[in-house]
Chains A and B, each alone.
Chain A
């Protein structure tokens, strides 16, 4: 059943008395600052509030309830231990402006997190301050610009972005005042080397490379790409959003990249999905080290931890957030990394890749078309339903909706744009073989259903709180406001 808005349950004068503030809580506020009109809040009983939000939570589709193979998002299990330890009173109650001497435990965790990320990526220095992946990208490209500017080189304004990159890459380059030079991908999923050679030149500020790319394959000519861009005087940006696949196997620092951003909320498993909070920590090589965003955590001569800021890093691109990123997310990532350890990192990369390849092989055997059938998948893979769409008029979106009726979260649909009618499937390393088999069985059943009665698939979902939404009408006739009492 569709849950009503809580405002629709509102009745004048109804109150949740247990939640009403005591008079003494407000007594210190001067009278001229107290509002006289009533706030436009729903007037409901406590039991109504409890039931409303409990029902909403039951309708929620989450990694805690179901398989969630949403490609590009790395929806893996968030270990409960990370939550529990990050919520320890000494960490949770620490005030960010408190004396450094009283926050040594937290600063030690952050220092060690920086060190572990350096070890995992092979980079020389790390800053934890970006609040999300997109802000990490912004920091990365701002550092690239700062590097060229510091050398008096003002002509390097072009950023090369392969068309298989994350969509945030060209957006970031544009935000930083650069011009995007898009280069194409070959039929095997690797960067078109001729297009790269034609794109580099004296204006090249650098390249932003997502590896493994959004096509779910590892860029095999990465060394050659590095050489071509480096010889043209450009810097190398590694979009580490897909780091899960290479964890413990290869390191961007060893590939001699200058900068990487990591989505700690994805690879190092803090709860995400729904808009944050996140963490887009950045790692840099020697050339960009002076420009790292502040603050970073360092040690003074006596071994005590402290914030390194403008005085220590005078060439820094500056601050990206009020304090140092999202402390709760950073702590969860820290606990996660400490728990899995060095061997665990390698096994994450191996099982993420194994699970994706197993699922791809099962679907391929059942007649589904992988977008790159001759390539081994990384942590995710793409199937294209273009044949089904052409012959049965059943689209990727129809199949995605039908999966919901099987209590499975849909994979990412229609992304990347390079592949028609595609599903981008990322099972992650935390799923059992049974869970993967159940997904494959559901896909096969839907494909069979499409052959027998396509309209059944096109009408899905049937069991969700709401049926198929008219997203075209929703976009054309935006109606987002609910005005209480209107």
Chain B
């Protein structure tokens, strides 16, 4: 099912009527989600991603704009008529029901011709349970399951009625680190097998990047960038997106363009053709540094962390915005730890410059 959001906007009136200011939770969101894809809504907390999810499933009404499921305009339709499946952050499993009863619960709501017999319901529940590999625990109560298992039950319950869209709100945040890795692969697999258009919300960029077909980066209600994870990472549209994606995070410097050359402090680090003279923010990905004895960019060496496959060089520079520069270099390049300085050349593709006023990306050749 294709999902189209047109100028979707949600404004919360201020509770205190004396203060006129309103909170714009989602601002003019337009996006066409292709059928059968896994979409990650990504952003810091309070950016409006959960509100977007609630708008899509109908738990909140949009202030303006439209939502289409396929050709149907569902903007004002109540959630029960939309055919969505939702998994909540805390799973919201009914504690007094067994796993099987939980999964069967949505089927019991079907009316008229769609009504199922007990056997049919059981069969469907088992099918859904098998899909998420929870079928051996059908008789247990949620409290007797681990976090990861509860998560699967919640997904099975959302899937059992074959929703047109599956929505997941922070699906991994209640799991420990090991389970998180495992479960995100699981979500990927389930989505592939069912081919149901799936939207999930997360604040963890790694999570979103690793499994999404496309990611949507949001901040303060505004969509910053939409695209395939790698594209967004390689080609951020603005400073926020560049900073939000990637671990370790991008290193940001105060800098300047003079005579089509990019300066950090006194060092001219890169040729930037076609850019007018101006002060800029410079973002350099950790993997954009190349160790070189005659490198153009000189930093004060702090420490070297060996991580096996790579080496992480920690250094400082006066123009840096932040505490330290993190650069990742291949392990075979040896750093002279006795030297107070370290010198780098930069890979142009890993260096992004941004307008100082607007923080929009400035492209160069």
Chains A and B bind each other: no
